[in-house]
Amino acid sequence: MRTTIKRALCAGVAITALAAPLSAQADVKLGFLGGFTGPIESLVPPIGDAAKLAATHINEQGGLLGGQNIEVVTGDTTCADATAAANAADRLVNVENVSAIVGALCSGATISGANNAGIPGSVVMISPASTSPALTTLEDNDLVFRTAPSDAYQGEVLARLLKAKDVSDIAITYVNNDYGKGFADALEAAYQAEGGTVAAKEAHEDNKADYRAELGSLSSSGATTLVVLAYADGSGQTIVRQALEAGDFAVYVGGDGMVSDTLPANAGGSIDGMIATRPGTPEIPGAAIYADLATAGGLDPAATFAAQSYDAAFLLALAMEKKGSADRDGMAAALREVASAPGEVILPGEWEKAMKLLADGADINYEGASGQHEFDSSGDVPGIIVEMTVADGAFVEVGPAK
């Protein structure tokens, strides 16, 4: 199956995957909301490119709804500014008239974009990267989904990982937003339940030039392990750099927002051995197929949240094909149908197969690049968390964290 898909797709994908817009005669607009500027700007391009790769595969296999092409229209949330996120979402929903949205990425941006534009506009949004537990309880009229697991789970896994490494006490600093607070609260509760001691837990504001006062307060707790739940291109980088300068901590730990090679490159010293976690990909057929397709398209198949983004875009297109239109009405119900068993399994890149099955009235079940995506009543999915570490100045995956 992998060979067949590659033969059909690889020749054209490398040239067209990153084109924006994807086609001059695009008929269906799919929004992508990401923090192209701000504290995760180094993480965003591969995530956006993965969504465009899904659109390229669809367009090259006949398009959707009888031959219409998909155009991916982007909006910059900045990640850190709720107003910017609301404005970007409003433009996609009310000016560009997108049928659905992949995004946003930062949890606060997703919540702001949904509350101010997505939900009022009845637009389904699938975030590939928003992990705050706050999304689970968002009053969203069944419009907000995600293809990455919640930090309620990632916090538990990170707690177990630290205890397995005989880390007995920690100090936590977290960016003062939905992502940071939700992750920090989950980690604190789980770590204490595992018998660990949270010696200090303090919020910090993003985009400051100096965190020495915050670091002094954290180091006075006596903890030698510092957990930084922030962003690699924002406060997280500055905090790690200034902590290294002071030499108050022996071990550094991060969450998914810190997993970018810009962090070790700009830390001002070696952080080899730093521990981190991020959502990973289970051993499923779709993961291997996506890796081949991404490589053929010139993308890094291991890029953080890229596989989740591909799945989000592909799922939204399948939902449109399922219900027979790109109208916003009924999108959530169709999404749940194409993402859930029973049905003929559809893997990444298998658009033509999906079209034929849907045209024949058959049920389909997309099992993607990053997971099977059986959405629960809150739009959440199960998943796995992987351990990352810094070695020779770059993040490398160690394996599933249990």
Is pLDDT above 80 for 275?
yes
Q: Give the pLDDT score at 24.
A: 41
Q: With beta carbons less than 8 A apart as the criterion, state whether 340 and 371 touch.
A: no
- Tens of pLDDT, residues 204-229: 999 999 999 999 999 999 999 999 99
Output the DSSP codes for 256-314. GGG--THHHHHSSS--TT-EEEEEE--S-HHHHHHHHHHHHTT--TTSTTHHHHHHHHH
Angle between helices 212-219 and 235-246 (to 10 degrees): 60
Tell me the C-alpha distance between 97 and 140, whole Å: 19
pLDDT of residue 402: 84
5 pLDDT band (50/70/90 cuts)? very low
Cα–Cα–Cα angle for 254, 75, 204, rounded to 5 degrees = 30
Q: How far apart are CA 58 and CA 67, in angstroms?
A: 10
| Model pLDDT for residues 299-356, shown as the tens digit of each residue | 999 999 999 999 999 999 999 999 999 999 999 999 999 999 999 999 999 999 999 9
User: Has residue 379 got a pLDDT over 80?
Assistant: yes
Residue indicated by tokens 């219409």:
68
Cα-Cα-Cα-Cα dihedral sign, residues 232, 237, 239, 245? positive
pLDDT value for 328: 98
Is the predicted pLDDT of residue 132 greater than 90, yes or no?
yes
User: 192-207: string of b/e by CB count within 10 Å (b at 16+)?
Assistant: eeeebebbbbeebebe
399 DSSP β-pair partners:
387
* Residue 193's pLDDT band (cuts 50, 70, 90): very high
Q: What is the pLDDT of residue 270?
A: 96
* Complete domains list, the chain, with CATH: 2-150+282-366 (3.40.50.2300), 151-278+385-400 (3.40.50.2300)
Nearest alpha carbon to residue 107 among 140, 137, 132, 142? 132
Question: Which residue has tokens 């905090």?
Answer: 239
- Strands of 251-254's sheet in order across: 197-204, 169-175, 225-229, 251-254, 275-280, 384-391, 394-400
- The answer on pLDDT for 112 being more than 70 is yes
pLDDT value of residue 113: 98
pLDDT of residue 371: 94
Q: What is the pLDDT at residue 19?
A: 40
What percent of the chain lies above the pLDDT cut of 90? Answer: 92
- For every residue of 197-260, DSSP letters joined together read EEEEEEEE-TT-S--HHHHHHHHTT---EEEEES-TTTHHHHHHHHHHHHT--SEEEE-GGG--
| Position 171 confidence tier, pLDDT thresholds 50, 70, 90 | very high
Tokens of 359: 């045209």
Query: CA 67, CA 216: separation in Å to the nearest integer?
Result: 61
For residues 309 and 146, what is the distance between their CA atoms, to the nearest angstrom? 9
Q: Average pLDDT of 182-211?
A: 97
The band of 49, judged by pLDDT with boundaries at 50, 70 and 90, is very high
Q: How confident is the model at residue 17 (pLDDT cuts 50, 70, 90)?
A: very low
User: Residue 7 pLDDT > 60, yes or no?
Assistant: no
Q: Which of 353, 386, 379, 367 is nearest to 61 (CA)?
A: 353
- With residue 102 as reference, give the H or E element that holds it: strand 100-102
Query: Which is it for strands 197-204 and 225-229: parallel, antiparallel or unpaired?
Result: unpaired
Residue 16 scores a pLDDT above 70: no
What is the percent of the chain where pLDDT is above 70?
94
Q: State the pTM of this model.
A: 0.90
Q: Which residues pair with 41 in a beta bridge?
A: none
**163: how many CB neighbours lie within 10 A of its CB?**
16
User: What mean pLDDT, rounded, does the chain reach?
Assistant: 93
Coil/strand/helix, residue 388: strand
- What are the tens digits of pLDDT across the range 23-42? 344 499 999 999 999 999 99
pLDDT mean over 260-266: 96
- pLDDT for position 148: 96
Alpha carbons 6 and 294: distance in angstroms, whole number? 10
